[in-house]
Amino acid sequence: MLTACVLCLARKPTLVKMAQLLRSPLLSSAAIRSASTGTLEVKEPLNFWGGGRVKPLSSSNAEPVYEPATGHVLCQMVPCVDEEVDQAIKSAHSAYLKWSKMSGMERARVMLEAARIIRERRDDIAKVEVINNGKSITEAKVDIDVAWTCIEYYAGIAGTLAGQHVQLPGSCFAYTRREPLGVCVGIGAWNYPFQIAAWKSAPALACGNAMVFKPSPMTPVTAVMLAEIYAEAGVPEGLFNVVQGGAETGTLLCHHPMVAKVSFTGSVPTGKKIMEMSAKGVKPVTLELGGKSPLIIFQDSELENAVKGALMANFLTQGEVCCNGTRVFVQKDILPKFLEEVVKRTKAIPLGDPLLDGTRMGALISRPHLDRVLGFINQAKKEGARVLCGGEPYVPADPKLKGGYFMSPCVLDNCRDDMTCVKEEIFGPVMSVLPFDTEEEVLQRANNTTFGLAAGVFTRDIARAHRVVENLQAGTCFINNYNISPVEVPFGGYKMSGFGRENGQVTIEYYSQLKTVVVEMGDVDSLF
């Protein structure tokens, strides 16, 4: 015990030094607006707690973060160590004690102000998102709109949170209280950095919680911008904190005794580890994991819409979307026409500088990930699939993009259910097309997967559409459309795609707990 106390005392000067906050913005509006592809460099610290950015204890373990479109170093990501994680969580807990005592309407006003600031700065945030993530500016602007809409939506719910009154026999009654959990941890993914931070923080804050958010180490920047916006909007200092790092930092967060809940978006293997670590503290978890979702196109479908739906189901964000409908089942009678149209449109997708308005597909997140996706295509060819278009590294004409992580979007034909490209999540712009004959057959094949995140069906037969959706083993289903995720409706999966939900009213239940209070107004009826 004495040794432990001595160690604690020895750390105190370091912690005081760490607590020096940087209140200036991570990036000025002028710096963002003057930036172009390959020119932005972020040199400021990327950790945020206690109402400001915090310099890391040490930069010796810094990792370079690359701009996907150019391969240039965008910034250095310094993972948080145990002392820093501890301080971020304690800062969040102090803020939680204040925030949780505010009324729902008071919290709503602050959240609405945050939504307003995001809406006002949408173009700047989207630009930084593109530079850090590689997706097209057109998509990034939609992502930022979804983010502020989500915060606005949960601000509207904050003031409606209430319990229930239950009259019991005689002079006895009971009521319930919906109460916050405390400090929640959000662990984000690199495909939707800002949007996921909003999706996790908005319901958490609406319920009266605080959040410590860890972005992906490959996209560390825009979550800090969200933290600055919450602070500017007027949340208590420390309510939304950002800690940087990879698996080690995530482990520290999951094990910390002051963390009440963990919400994770990412891969199945990592999700299993987070579930295991959180279980040791009996912490509730929300897991939004991978998918290998089926898109079923019947012969009576409106072909134009089916083709557009298949493109939306496969090529948003360079195919790096967990709920993508990458197994495209097409009824045999329309297969030749479908392939002709989908290949023609896939070949016409404009690739290149993601900051240009005309670009529809940008760069993949990293060189290793690009190589992994291309490896899946090579494996598919070995197993007998036929590449109808794309599937190769792409080098844009613009010299500054020569080092970027681009590839041409790919359509695979002659696929079978037992192929690697059909069974495993590729997470890139690769569409696998499979023929089918009957509804019964395709349902069995569609459900023959360990995943269950999403599914879709195109048909003009409304009875068939609802019948098929009823029998699809997936948490999010689409009829005659795909990859539409309004914040008003829940999103989440079945089976190994995770559990819990994000968005919609039901998510309040995952960020709050119910207390039952039984009241006796008369005498106690005792057996003793």
Q: pLDDT tens digit string along 320-371?
A: 999 999 999 999 999 999 999 999 999 999 999 999 999 999 999 999 999 9
For the chain, the farthest-separated pair of C-alpha atoms sits apart, in whole angstroms, at: 88
Cα 345 from Cα 528, distance rounded (Å): 80
Categorise residue 219: left if φ over 0, alpha if ψ from -120 to 50, beta otherwise: beta
Q: Which of 99, 96, 106, 108 is nearest to 260 (CA)?
A: 96
Tell me the CATH class for 294-495. Answer: alpha beta
Tokens 């106390």 belong to which residue? 5
Cα 60 from Cα 249, distance rounded (Å): 16
Contact at 8 Å (CB) between 118 and 227? no
Q: What is the pLDDT of residue 19?
A: 55
230: amino acid identity, one letter: Y
Annotated domain spans of the chain: 47-289, 294-495
Q: What is the pLDDT of residue 20?
A: 78
Cα 375 from Cα 436, distance rounded (Å): 27
DSSP assignment of 430-446: EEEEEEE--HHHHHHHH
Residue 4 has pLDDT above 90, yes or no: no
Tokens representing residue 352 in the block: 């290149």
422-470 confidence digits (pLDDT tens): 999 999 999 999 999 999 999 999 999 999 999 999 999 999 999 999 9
Q: Which of 451, 419, 106, 87 is nearest to 252 (CA)?
A: 87
Cα 303 from Cα 298, distance rounded (Å): 9
The mean per-residue pLDDT over the stretch 220-224 comes to 98
Which H helix or E strand runs over 457? strand 454-458
DSSP 523: -
Q: What is the pLDDT of residue 182?
A: 98
Residue 2 has pLDDT above 50, yes or no: no
Q: What is the pLDDT of residue 252?
A: 98
52-66 confidence digits (pLDDT tens): 999 999 999 999 999
Q: What is the pLDDT of residue 3?
A: 39
Q: What is the pLDDT of residue 522?
A: 95
Catalytically annotated residues: 288
The CA dihedral of 251, 253, 255, 261, to the nearest 10 degrees, is -120
Categorise residue 394: left if φ over 0, alpha if ψ from -120 to 50, beta otherwise: beta
Task: Kindly report the backbone phi and psi dihedral angles of residue 399, in degrees, each rounded to the nearest multiple of 5, phi listed first.
Answer: -55, -35
Q: What mean pLDDT value characterizes the chain?
A: 95
Q: Radius of gyration (Cα) for the chain, nearest Å?
A: 25
426: β partners: none
The mean per-residue pLDDT over the stretch 410-417 comes to 98
The mean per-residue pLDDT over the stretch 296-318 comes to 98
Give the model's confidence band at 10: pLDDT under 50 very low, under 70 low, under 90 confident, else very high.
very low
CA distances from 392 to 67, 130, 141, 310, 450 (A): 20, 22, 28, 20, 29
Q: Which of 65, 215, 43, 37 is nearest to 131 (CA)?
A: 37
pLDDT > 90 in the chain, percent: 96
Residue 18 has pLDDT above 50, yes or no: no
Tokens 């079945």 belong to which residue? 494
Q: What is the pLDDT of residue 315?
A: 98
Give the predicted TM-score (pTM) of the model. Answer: 0.94
Tokens representing residue 56 in the block: 């890391």
Q: Mapping DSSP to helix (H, G, I), strand (E, B) and coil, where does residue 336 land? A: helix
Residue 162 has pLDDT above 90, yes or no: yes
Contact at 8 Å (CB) between 26 and 228? yes
141: Cβ contacts below 8 Å, ≥ 6 apart: 122, 123, 126
Architecture of domain 47-289: 3-Layer(aba) Sandwich (3.40)
Q: Which of 184, 80, 193 is nearest to 134 (CA)?
A: 193
Tokens representing residue 130 in the block: 């593109």
Residue 208 has pLDDT above 60, yes or no: yes
Contact at 8 Å (CB) between 151 and 115? yes
Cα 207 from Cα 510, distance rounded (Å): 10
* 3-state helix vs strand vs coil in the chain, percent to 5: 40, 20, 40
